[in-house]
Amino acid sequence: MEYSEAELLAVLLAREVRDGEISACGALSQIPAAGLLLAGELHAPNAEIIILHSAFDPFRTSRQFHYLAQRGEMGLFFVSGVQIDRHGNYNLHQLGADPERPRARFPGGYGGGMIYYAARRTVVFRTEHTRRSLVERVDFVSAAGATPPDVLRRGHPSKVVTPKAAFRFDKDAAVLKLDTIHPPWTLDDIRANTGFELDVKGAIPATPAPTEEELHVLRHVIRRRMIDTGTYAAWAQQSLGN
């Protein structure tokens, strides 16, 4: 079966959603939004899904959303970053180590750093898998993957998902470890496109490809729902099944 990178990522993110949990993504999160809706349709009908600034947002203000996370009620959150490093830190602020003269500035995390600590699980996704996006050390820590023992923290990053591979976060070692590789990519491809040491021991399994059912529901049911509800409608029309 053929599918786009956006469809692959939406399916892989959907598989991380658990039935009965509160699972959420922030604004400007088209792929996680599609993944959340897909999970609700397929295997998590009792999951409470929150997509900020959409028809699936029960809050009048973002402050209420942040309070929910602080109370420990958020089971899963999806976030992205310009840079992600081997320790699970991500960067949404700037490129370049000098804060006075950065090569580029970005909007920042808008509460994402707090949610990284408060959500039970966080899946970081990136639509690009290159040495400039997966780095040894981020230029700016917008949110830390690991913190000292005396820092109050309910959860940690769970996975990092890219168009080429998925990494799991080893909480004890505080590092990302290669979990699965998406066909047709190989371990050599992942090494060539990752800016930190993979420390691979043994064979790495292939990521299960999207199933016919997952793609059918994503392209027909979820695409239609996103268009009808105005949830990234233009993106859904262009990116899902097209």
pTM exceeds cut of 0.85: yes
Per-residue pLDDT, 182: 98
Per-residue pLDDT, 172: 92
pLDDT band at 115 (very low <50, low <70, confident <90, very high): very high
Peptide bond into 107 cis (omega under 30): no
Spell out the domains of the chain, with CATH numbers in brackets.
5-83+111-131+145-239 (3.40.1080.10)
pLDDT band at 170 (very low <50, low <70, confident <90, very high): very high
Residues in the chain: 242
d(CA 37, CA 42): 9
pLDDT band at 111 (very low <50, low <70, confident <90, very high): confident
Question: β-strands 48-51, 22-25: how paired?
Answer: parallel
Residue with tokens 């059918």: 216
**Three-state SS string across 114-173, please?**
HHHHHCCEEEEECCCCCCCCEECCCCCCCECCCCCCCCCCCCEEEEEECCCEEEEEECCC
The pLDDT tens digits for 36-67 are 999 999 999 999 999 999 999 999 888 999 99
Per-residue pLDDT, 211: 98
Amino acid at residue number 122: T
The pLDDT tens digits for 179-235 are 999 999 999 999 999 999 998 989 999 999 999 999 999 999 999 999 999 999 999
The pLDDT of residue 242 is above 80: no
- Please report, for residues 147, 184, 238, the alpha-carbon distance to residue 242 in angstroms, rounded to integers and kept in the order given: 43, 21, 6
- Residue in 60, 54, 51, 106 with CA at minimum distance from that of residue 78: 51
**If you ran DSSP here, which 8-state letter would residue 217 be given?**
I
Residue 128: Cβ-neighbour burial (10 angstroms; 0-12, 13-18, 19+): middle
